[in-house]
Amino acid sequence: MKTTLSVLVENHPGVLSRVAGLFSRRGFNIDSLAVGTTENPDISRMTIVVDGDDYIVEQVKKQLNKLVDVIKVSKIIPEESVSRELVLIKVDAEPQVRSEIIHIAEIFRANIVDVSRKSMIIELTGDKDKVTAFEELLKPFGIKELVRTGIIAVNRGTKTIKIEEED
Amino acid sequence: MKITAAEALIRSLEMEGVEVVFGYPGGAILPVYDSLFHAKKLKHILTRSEQAAAHAASGYARVSGRVGVCMATSGPGATNLVTGIATAYMDSIPVVAITGQVSTSLIGRDVFQEVDITGATAPFTKHNYLVKRAEDIPRIVKEAFYIASTGRPGPVLIDLPKDVAETKIEFKYPEQITLRGYKPKYEGHPLQISRAAEAINKALRPVICAGGGVNSSGAEQELMELAEKAQIPVATTLMGIGAFPENHPLSLGMMGMHGTPYANRAVTESDLVIATGARFGDRLTGRVAGFAPKARIIHIDIDPAEIGKNVKADIPIVGNVKRVLEEILKEVHQKQPTEWNERIAELKKNTFTYDKKNKLCPQEIIEELSRRTAGNAIITTEVGSHQMWVAQYYRFIKPRTFISSGGLGTMGYGLPAAIGAKFAKPDETVINICGDGSFQMNLAEMATAVENNLSIKMILFNNQGLGLVRQLQEFYCKKRYSQVYFGFVPDFVKLAESYRIPAMRIESRDELPGAIDRLIAEKGCFLLECMVDIYENVYPMVLNGSPINEMIGG
Ligand SMILES: Cc1ncc(C[n+]2csc(CCOP(=O)(O)OP(=O)(O)O)c2C)c(N)n1
């Protein structure tokens, strides 16, 4: 089972290694981890996708909360949130298949960001399913490289995950 | 007037009321030791290794309830502290460790005596700091003491690069702390407290399992009131020893792997386990599936992450044990002894014992010591069979008198911890009970004790090897005794004497009373070496994977 956690942390050096270290030493599995600053430059947000049952997720939350640099940990509910991932795919694109690839990219509203003689780089944003489906379709052409940012997510509507909020 | 960050560090420690620091100098921490040279209030105790400094700080903290402080230089100094820091972490002991670090411009280049100590200690510190800006020192020290001593206590490390330490700053000690990511919760949830009280009132066969949290939050009075008011028998964990007087009729002694048969059986038969400041460690529960199978569980702990981690709690209460018990007590009904108390009395008849087949048994030495000191001593231990016998056969009646490495099980802990203990309570009798294996890990600390005119008594069980590991090999390796006998042991009496510590060796029980007399009467340090049998096992014993009511020898 996958759970997405949104974690607000102090924007201090070493925070990432503390969080990552916690996962490895307690045997928790991370599917993806995306990190960047927030509207407040002192605070970073980590979006972590954890693989594990309720017990594991509960432990992850509690152990994260024990880190002094962790300000807040919230669970992202899929139905009440928007989640996105950005992927860059470098795909083999000999002239004879190029238009076919472009066509697929258009259907997915993906952007072609670089074209060379034998390959192209395509940028796609979407949720996990969309990215996976896109990847599957491009596989037959030969994927040379693929980079994903990992999922980032926000709650829909007026609900926010901020430090002012007390839970 | 501007002062260096190193001076600011010393001033900050003084502001925190620190009286004694245990440490060992070196190159990267030169500026700090230079400032220490001029310090008026702060006393520095030079140990014989950094590990001992960390253990002494933690022994000091355990006995006094205050933050223990240790310091060391970068690189090997810092790595030598590691065992002591991890020991403190596992037992939730408030310690602030200060390490020197190479200058900031050199960090990451593998220069002489550089080690990433904040990275290395992240898994077993509550928090740590690499000081990048000199002006942060007062704030960081203040935060470090606050974090170490509040919530679930634990060690905090401050790593101070040499150039930062030499930088001059305007000293101002902050009055307030703002840590938005750290807000320990002290008060239990009122609803949960009522549920707990109701469960206690309804329970027919309740047992309290008192852990180290009772000792560290000073909740022994509340624990006593609860036990007496509702007639609940009390078992302790290893860390909880002393939280409830073991001569009290409601005491079940220690439970767990080497616990008393009656504690283990009582928990197994109980319908309500009230865990107070205990974490249900694996040495306590035995096979988790067989742990208190008929009981509902009230779990009171200050650390939310402990609740539900090892054993599922029916009524979890996050909060300070003392405060939570105070609240629960208001709603708990007075009870007269019940059938359950009769059953407990019955269970207690089946006690544990040992065979006096040899000329001198370690258990009887501890029994004798217990009788003679009547619980009025601070007993530190090393790790091994002797530690378990102390836990089983010494009757502890006061909190913070059993000082032992529980969670990490660190050999070499006892002697330096005794030194720390003596600084915390100079007027108390401090006795370290050790095996010859553990003793040899930090015996150089006898010099620290002598140098500082500390009176530390040592009882050394010489079985010429590693008794507890030998016992494990007897049970789990079909008596294939691998590397558990020492091919050579020094003459410990002469060794002690070379430290100007009077010492004596005994081999039979007739000599015991006289030896204990002398141990108690000696004004300074004293070593009593007792020749005992390495084949002496610790019983009762719960085998790995067994439930705790299935005990060998119990
Ligand atoms: C630093 C360290 N190394 C190894 C161990 C594993 N260990 C646990 S008990 C023990 C034997 C201790 O021997 P001794 O101090 O002589 O005590 P005894 O069991 O003989 O009473 C050992 C090696 C440990 N607990 N700590």
Instruction: Please answer yes or no on whether B181 and A67 come within 8 Å at the CB atom.
Output: yes
Residue closest via CA to ligand 1's atom 1 equals B411
CA–CA separation, A68 and B183 (whole Å): 9
Specify the ligand 1 atom closest to the Cα of B468: 19
∠ CA B513-B514-B517, rounded to 5°: 90
Residues 6+ apart with CB under 8 A from A103: none
Of residues B543, B59, B3, the one with CA closest to residue B70: B59
Cα of B486 from ligand 1 centre, angstroms = 12
Cα of B214 from ligand 1 centre, angstroms = 27
In chain A, the domains with their CATH numbers are 2-76 (3.30.70.260), 82-152 (3.30.70.1150)
Q: Are the CB atoms for B278 and B240 separated by under 8 Å?
A: yes
Residues 6+ apart with CB under 8 A from A164: none
Cα of B292 from ligand 1 centre, angstroms = 30
Cα of B483 from ligand 1 centre, angstroms = 12
Q: What is the sign of the dihedral through the CA atoms of B9, B11, B14 and B15?
A: negative
Instruction: Please answer yes or no on whether A65 and B182 come within 8 Å at the CB atom.
Output: no
Instruction: Please answer yes or no on whether A163 and B180 come within 8 Å at the CB atom.
Output: yes
pLDDT tens column, A77-97: 989 999 999 999 999 999 999
Instruction: Please answer yes or no on whether A62 and B127 come within 8 Å at the CB atom.
Output: no
The three-class DSSP label of residue B165 is helix
In chain B, the domains with their CATH numbers are 3-169 (3.40.50.970), 190-347 (3.40.50.1220), 362-531 (3.40.50.970)
Of residues B285, B323, B319, B315, the one with CA closest to residue B297: B315
A130 burial (CB, 10 Å; 0-12 / 13-18 / 19+) is: middle
Give the chain A residue nearest B131 (alpha carbons): A13
- Which residues on neighbouring strands pair with residue A50, listed in sequence order? A3, A30
CA–CA separation, B533 and B511 (whole Å): 16
Instruction: Please answer yes or no on whether B309 and A17 come within 8 Å at the CB atom.
Output: no
Give the chain B residue nearest A25 (alpha carbons): B123
Cis peptide, bond prior to residue B540, ω within 30 of zero: yes
Give me the residue from A21, A25, A68 closest to B147, CB to CB. Answer: A68
Of residues B94, B101, B56, the one with CA closest to residue B74: B101
Specify the ligand 1 atom closest to the Cα of B389: 21
CA–CA separation, B25 and B41 (whole Å): 19
- How far A21 CA lies from chain B's nearest CA (Å)? 7
pTM of the predicted protein model: 0.96
- Give B180's contacts in chain A (Cβ within 8 Å): 10, 71, 163
Give me the residue from A18, A58, A68 closest to B308, CB to CB. Answer: A58
ipTM of the complex in this document: 0.90
The three-class DSSP label of residue B231 is coil
- Give B119's contacts in chain A (Cβ within 8 Å): 17
Give me the residue from A55, A63, A68 closest to B127, CB to CB. Answer: A68
CA–CA separation, A18 and B119 (whole Å): 8
- Give B182's contacts in chain A (Cβ within 8 Å): 68
- Give A62's contacts in chain B (Cβ within 8 Å): 304-305
> Which DSSP letter does residue B37 get?
H
pLDDT tens column, A128-165: 899 999 999 999 999 999 999 999 999 888 777 776 54
- pLDDT one digit per residue (tens) for chain B, 554 residues: 899 999 999 999 999 999 999 999 999 999 999 999 999 899 999 999 999 999 999 999 999 999 999 999 999 999 999 999 999 999 999 999 999 999 999 999 999 999 999 999 999 999 999 999 999 999 999 999 999 999 999 999 999 999 999 999 999 999 999 999 999 999 999 999 999 999 999 999 999 999 999 999 999 999 999 999 999 999 999 999 999 999 999 999 999 999 999 999 999 999 999 999 999 999 999 999 999 999 999 999 999 999 999 999 999 999 999 999 999 999 999 999 999 999 999 999 999 999 999 999 999 999 999 999 999 999 999 999 999 999 999 999 999 999 999 999 999 999 999 999 999 999 999 999 999 999 999 999 999 999 999 999 999 999 999 999 999 999 999 999 999 999 999 999 999 999 999 999 999 999 999 999 999 999 999 999 999 999 999 999 999 999 999 999 87
Of residues B214, B325, B344, B342, the one with CA closest to residue B279: B214
The three-class DSSP label of residue B422 is helix
Pocket of ligand 1 (CB under 6 A): B 382-386, 409-412, 435-438, 461, 463, 466-469
Cα of B385 from ligand 1 centre, angstroms = 8
CA–CA separation, B427 and B388 (whole Å): 26
How many contacts (CB atoms, under 8 Å) link A and B? 38
Tally Cβ neighbours within 10 Å of residue A61.
19
Instruction: Please answer yes or no on whether A25 and B123 come within 8 Å at the CB atom.
Output: yes
Q: Are the CB atoms for B356 and B397 separated by under 8 Å?
A: no
Specify the ligand 1 atom closest to the Cα of B441: 1
